[in-house]
Amino acid sequence: MELQDTVALVTGGAEGIGRAIAEALAREGSKVTITGRREEAVRNTAEEFRLDWIVGDVGSEDDAVRTVASVIEKHGRLDILVNNAGYGLFKSLVDMTLEELEGVFRTNVFGAFLMSREAARQFIKQGRGELINISSTSGLKGSSGRTAYGSSKFALRGMTECWRDELRRHDVRVMLVNPSEVMTNFSKKAGAEREASDKKLRPSEIADAIVGALKVDSRGFIPEFSVFATNPF
């Protein structure tokens, strides 16, 4: 598809992978709105790249409905939704609380559901749309200490497959992206800080891959892809 003048909404767009995706789409001529919970961070990124911005929590139904409706009201349509908002929590099973597990699912799973539901209603009305869910290679294989994060990404992958089958008949492309280890603040916030390495992925690599997938002619699409560092060792 041609990205010039498309209308895009990127959740969790203030930093990390979301920020890189928003920047890449804007560079291609897309009219980008970013959203996030921290007003200062969202505003600063939006001002830097001349983006629109909305403060909101994707895990709040009211905020999700308001965010999508605001973009559609301003532009008259929505062409691309990137569900990037999410966070990790790395703890052993015996040390995790139900509240912690529910919190991760509130953002990573329920938030993606709420945003996708609202966007899908507009996509169906338009007869077209691009829905991109940012998952993780943690959603492909379980590992120790990732009960919350890994299972949330397994759930996101399952929902994506359901939505893909449901929305294809409306010419809506639903894609899942599985980044491997990317050098952002994600691991530090999740409680598993990693050493910086020039061999690890950068957010720009994920953004470039997504732009490439979107540019595939609309008669076809890439349902799912993973992005690994060539030699991270």
Q: Quick one: which H or E segment has residue 77?
A: none
Angle at 20 between CA 191 and CA 40, to 5 degrees: 70
For 171, counting Cβ atoms within 10 Å of its Cβ (0-12 exposed, 13-18 middle, 19+ buried), the class is: middle
Query: Choosing from 149, 154, 163, 186, which is the catalytic residue?
Result: 149
Q: Say whether 87 is catalytic.
A: no
DSSP 156: H
The Cα 141–Cα 151 span in angstroms is: 10
Count Cβ atoms below 10 Å from residue 141 Cβ, excluding itself: 9
Burial of 98 (0-12, 13-18, 19+ CB in 10 A): exposed
Number of residues that this document lists for the chain: 233
Name the packing angle between helices 147-167 and 98-105 (round to 10°). Answer: 30
Show which residues are catalytic: 149
